[in-house]
């Protein structure tokens, strides 16, 4: 009796799910493990004591007596001012390049003029520029020619001067991708509505403020999410413009790159804890707004 029912359940199951389905979910699950394994291993390692690190497998959680939050505490105390600095330049730069990108996309899409495409191509090519090709002049620029600290020494500390340099730099290099993202949306916008507004005598600026801007709010969300993670994760400008890990303006990624270097050998649990603390803001933003991030990637 019981075997009969279980058999029929199995048959039903097979009919409904099918062997192909099982294979599909196995493949998807295996891939899930592949993508999560380095992260998972990092997470369990970050809470291990040095004894547990030796005693347990790298992917296995430690036993109850092998757990310590010491590494997290030390990593946080080392990284905390870096996290503040990163936020201080990431947020303004994100907002600025979103606004400028939206304005540029509007000027290059909804107001038609000849030669538009050429200017747009110059914007697009700016997305793909290898930063290596500008980084030497950039350090020259900020150390020899535009010396904010010397000019505004009365109101700016060395730290805030460096942060402003980073804001301007990140804004400038973020504009191209933001322009591309906004333009992709503006190209699909209803042309008639804007023509109608024009006939009613609305100025170019008014059309932007009253029609285009409200309609671009979803795209602003995409750009904020995407640019925030991009600028937060960035390393090359931090390394070259800030210069040293001990600088008061050092960003989170810069401090992480040298975390625990003075200690003997690499302290893996400390490194893992530091990696998670540094990644936390982007991780939260990504997991909350994964769809928007994916949209930002797609264009």
Partner 1 sequence: MKDIFSYLYKVYKKRQVRTDGGVTEETAVNNSWRQLPIVQSFPFWGPPFILMGFFVYAAVTWNFALSLTEFSGFGDPDYSNLGLQNYATMIQDPTFWQATWHTVILLVVFTVACLIIGLALAILLDREIRYGNTFRTIYLLPFALSFIVTAQFWRWMYNVNDGIVNQFVGLVGLGPYNWLGDPRLVLGSVIFALVWQFSGYTMIIYLAALRSIPRDQYEAARIDGANTLRMYRRVIIPQLKPAMVSASVVLMLFALKAFDFLYAVFDGYRPRQGADILATMMMREGFNNSEWAYSSTIAITLFVLSLGVIAPYLYTEYKRGNL
C-alpha 273/C-alpha 94 separation (Å) is 27
Out of 161, 163, 222, 272, point to the residue binding partner 1 (CB under 8 A).
Answer: 272
Instruction: Choose among 249, 106, 103, 94: nearest CA to 174.
Output: 94
Stretch that binds partner 1, among 4-12, 32-40, 63-71, 87-95 (CB under 8 A): 32-40
Does the protein bind partner 1 through residue 142 (CB under 8 A)? no
Does 135 sit near partner 1 (CB under 8 A)?
A: yes
Cβ(165)–Cβ(142) below 8 Å: yes
From residue 228 to residue 247, what is the string marking binding to partner 1 with x (rule CB under 8 A)?
Answer: -x--xxxxx--xx-------
Whichever of 14 and 140 has its CB closer to partner 1, that residue is 140
Q: Which of 8, 266 has the CB closer to partner 1?
A: 266
Query: Which tokens in the block code for residue 261?
Result: 């270097």
Out of 132, 150, 262, 263, point to the residue binding partner 1 (CB under 8 A). 132
Interaction of residue 74 with partner 1, rule CB under 8 A:
no
Dihedral of CA atoms 239, 244, 249, 253 in degrees, nearest 10, equals 50
Q: Is 189 in the site for partner 1 (CB under 8 A)?
A: no
Tokens found for residue 162: 């460096």
Nearest 10 degrees: Cα torsion 260, 261, 262, 265: 90
One of 90, 171, 185, 227 touching partner 1 (CB under 8 A): 171
The number of residues that bind partner 1 (CB under 8 A) is 96
Q: Are 102 and 189 in contact (CB under 8 A)?
A: no
How far is CA 164 from each of CA 100, 169, 218, rounded to the nearest angstrom?
17, 8, 28
Q: What is the DSSP letter of 66?
A: G
- Asked if 268 interacts with partner 1 (CB under 8 A), we say yes
Of 38 and 153, which CB lies nearer to partner 1 in the complex structure? 38
CB of 9 to partner 1, least distance (A): 19
């Amino acid at each position: 009796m019981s075997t009969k029912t279980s058999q029929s359940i199995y048959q039903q199951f097979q009919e409904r799910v099918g062997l192909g389905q099982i294979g599909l979910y196995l493949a998807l699950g295996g891939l899930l493990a592949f993508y999560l394994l380095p992260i998972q291993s990092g997470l369990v390692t970050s809470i291990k004591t040095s004894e547990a690190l030796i005693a347990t497998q790298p992917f296995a959680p430690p036993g109850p007596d092998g757990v310590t939050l010491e590494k997290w505490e030390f990593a946080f105390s080392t990284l905390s001012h870096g996290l503040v600095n990163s936020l201080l330049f990431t947020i303004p730069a994100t907002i600025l390049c979103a606004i400028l990108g939206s304005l540029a996309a509007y000027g290059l899409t909804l107001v038609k003029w000849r030669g538009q495409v050429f200017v747009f191509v110059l914007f697009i090519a700016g997305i793909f520029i290898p930063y290596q090709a500008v980084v030497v002049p950039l350090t020259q620029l900020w150390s020899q020619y535009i010396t904010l600290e010397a000019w505004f020494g009365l109101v700016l500390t060395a730290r805030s001067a460096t942060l402003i340099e980073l804001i301007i730099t990140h804004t400038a290099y973020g504009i191209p991708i933001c322009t591309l993202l906004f333009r992709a949306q503006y190209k699909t916008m209803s042309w008639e509505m804007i023509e109608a507004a024009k006939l009613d005598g609305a100025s170019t600026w008014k059309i932007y403020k009253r029609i285009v801007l409200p309609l671009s709010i979803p795209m602003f969300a995409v750009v904020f999410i995407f640019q925030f993670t991009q600028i937060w994760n960035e390393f090359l400008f931090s390394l070259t413009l800030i210069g040293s890990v001990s600088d008061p303006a050092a960003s989170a990624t810069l401090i992480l790159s040298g975390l625990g270097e003075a200690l003997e050998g690499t302290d893996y649990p400390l490194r893992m804890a530091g990696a998670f603390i540094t990644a936390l803001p982007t991780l939260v933003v990504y997991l909350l707004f994964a769809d928007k991030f994916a949209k930002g990637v797609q264009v």
